[in-house]
């Protein structure tokens, strides 16, 4: 069934539901917004790049804007001042997350720390992430295995430079990030550079990203949820099932080894830490919880980090002067023909400025994970009904000319003379969100990104693939669960 036929069917089924379920706001002042069509609302105004469409609409209707997708009232936040109101002042009202119907596969929305409502279970899971899995001592303890994965990337780039091989930057970054994540979690890599990156594992990730980012009429018209008309929940079950089965096998093997040889089987990775934690009866952590926690880290960390790395390399190759500055800093701090270490990161302020500028220009989650209003509330004089979906448009904030001079330009220098950071306290730069729902994976992402980008540029010069001129490089985005570069970046490394 094509998209427009589905719209007609949904419209006929949902007309009565729409009028019965919409919030009674006739006497309340909702945030301004474009007039919604009957039943479908503003769905057709989004296009294939919703972040750009919504940003354009906000220029007309303001930084707090109403949209309607079917029966779902949505509020879009598009300025740092309004983001601070929503994510800080009214964080307690907007602390719940909107979980798309697709994520109900395997009841993931009832276990995942990303979707759980704020409460005792969420606090327990959050504590495990922040104090057990992603604490500084735990991350420091995993440096050696991550260093091996970074060395594998460096070796791959070196061999490619010898053979003159064109490197798909995004794929190389994805393989490395996936292995960085997997060795941190359970001391094993899951894919190699000597296999085609479009293997079943890569296809599983790509499929999951596409399916969970596809607009779902079950979300816009909850009366349709039991029918799963687009089959998105079934497809999500297929992809999640593959990953959960993999984690189940890994956990089963580890538990078996712990029983037969307790001392020699310990790897002191995150899985061991989780298993130790779950064996304490007071912690209420089941094996199913462990699998879904691994899933959260795997899905949230791999595609986002690799996509950010590809955007960073795209901008650096398009701006040779910026690339030269970053390379010179690495040469000065680390020396030639040496590997970037995690301990080097604090001594690389220009590289950090590059990462921040990429976060500003190319946030991989342009709307963050949508939030939900837990009660009726008034923000900046406008009424936001209970149950509203909240988009924080960090893509628009990053291009706000009232905040950023020359917002479309790639200028890492803008971060050298200020203390703006991306950990949720500065509302002009929110790639990981803010408030109590800020991403708990920031410490690991911080290490991985600097190591990845540093390795790509240290000891290597780059040239675009044959026949491609800098002015021909496509920098448009492909909207999805993670915002990828629409056309993959391909280039040839040259040993410096």
- The verdict on whether residue 439 carries a ligand-binding annotation is yes
Task: State the Cα–Cα distance between residues 477 and 51, nearest whole angstrom.
Answer: 10
3-state secondary structure of 490: strand
Cβ-Cβ contacts under 8 Å for 7 (sequence gap 6 or more): 40, 43
Bridge partner residues of 76 (DSSP): 65, 391
Task: State the Cα–Cα distance between residues 485 and 488, nearest whole angstrom.
Answer: 6
Q: How many CA atoms lie within 13 A of 318 on its CB side?
A: 17
3-state secondary structure of 202: helix
And the tokens for 365? 């989650």
Task: State the Cα–Cα distance between residues 153 and 155, nearest whole angstrom.
Answer: 5
Phi-psi region of 490 (alpha: psi -120 to 50; beta: other; left: phi over 0): beta
H-helix or E-strand spanning residue 80: helix 80-84
Which residue from 331, 338, 305 is spatially nearest to 450, judged by alpha carbons? 305
How, if at all, do strands 389-392 and 371-372 pair? antiparallel
And the tokens for 447? 């290490």
Which residue from 148, 493, 167 is spatially nearest to 323, judged by alpha carbons? 493
CA 296 → CA 143, 156, 304, 496, distances in Å?
Answer: 21, 28, 12, 38
Task: State the Cα–Cα distance between residues 138 and 145, nearest whole angstrom.
Answer: 12
Residue set of the binding site: 439
Residue set of the binding site for heme: 439
């Amino acid at each position: 069934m094509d998209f427009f036929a589905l719209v007609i069917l949904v419209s006929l089924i949902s007309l009565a539901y729409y009028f019965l379920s919409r919030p009674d706001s006739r006497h309340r002042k909702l945030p301004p917004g474009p007039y919604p069509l009957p039943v479908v609302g503003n769905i057709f105004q989004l296009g294939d790049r919703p972040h750009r469409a919504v940003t354009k609409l906000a220029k007309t209707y303001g930084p707090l804007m109403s949209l309607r997708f079917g029966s779902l009232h949505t509020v879009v936040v598009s300025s740092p001042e309004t983001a601070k109101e929503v994510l800080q002042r009214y964080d307690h009202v907007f602390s719940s997350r909107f979980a798309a119907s697709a994520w109900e596969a395997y009841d993931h929305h009832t276990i995942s720390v990303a979707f759980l409502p704020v409460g005792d279970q969420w606090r327990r899971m959050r504590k495990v992430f922040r104090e057990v899995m992603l604490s500084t001592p735990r991350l420091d303890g995993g440096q050696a295995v991550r260093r091996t994965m970074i060395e594998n990337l460096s070796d791959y780039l070196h061999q490619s430079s010898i053979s003159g091989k064109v490197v798909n930057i995004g794929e190389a970054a994805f393989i490395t990030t996936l292995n960085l994540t997997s060795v941190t979690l359970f001391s094993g890599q899951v894919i190699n550079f000597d296999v085609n990156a479009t293997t079943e594992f890569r296809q599983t990730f790509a499929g999951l990203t596409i399916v969970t980012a596809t607009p779902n009429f079950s979300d816009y018209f909850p009366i349709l949820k039991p029918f799963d008309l687009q089959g998105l929940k079934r497809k999500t079950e297929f992809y999640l099932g593959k990953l959960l089965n993999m984690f189940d096998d890994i956990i089963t093997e580890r538990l078996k080894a712990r029983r037969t040889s307790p001392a020699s089987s310990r790897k002191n990775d995150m899985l061991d830490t989780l298993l130790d934690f779950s064996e304490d009866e007071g912690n209420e952590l089941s094996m199913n919880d462990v699998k879904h926690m691994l899933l959260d880290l795997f899905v949230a960390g791999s595609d986002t980090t690799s996509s950010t790395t590809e955007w960073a390399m795209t901008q650096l190759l398009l701006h040779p002067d910026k690339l030269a500055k970053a390379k010179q800093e690495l040469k000065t701090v680390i020396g030639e023909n040496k590997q970037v270490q995690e301990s080097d990161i604090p001594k690389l302020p220009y590289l950090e400025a590059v990462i921040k500028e990429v976060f500003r220009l190319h946030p991989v989650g342009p709307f963050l994970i949508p939030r939900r209003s837990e009660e009726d509330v008034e923000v900046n004089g406008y009424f936001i009904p209970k149950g509203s979906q909240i988009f924080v448009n960090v893509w628009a904030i990053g291009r706000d000319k009232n905040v950023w001079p020359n917002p479309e330009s790639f200028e890492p220098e803008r971060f050298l003379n200020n203390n703006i950071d991306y950990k949720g306290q500065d509302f002009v730069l929110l790639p990981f969100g803010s408030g109590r729902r800020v991403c708990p994976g920031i410490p690991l992402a911080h290490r991985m990104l600097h190591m990845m980008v540093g390795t790509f540029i240290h000891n290597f010069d780059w040239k675009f693939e044959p026949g491609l001129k800098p002015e021909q490089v496509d920098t448009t985005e492909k909207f999805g669960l993670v915002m990828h570069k629409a056309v993959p970046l391909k280039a040839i490394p040259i040993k410096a």
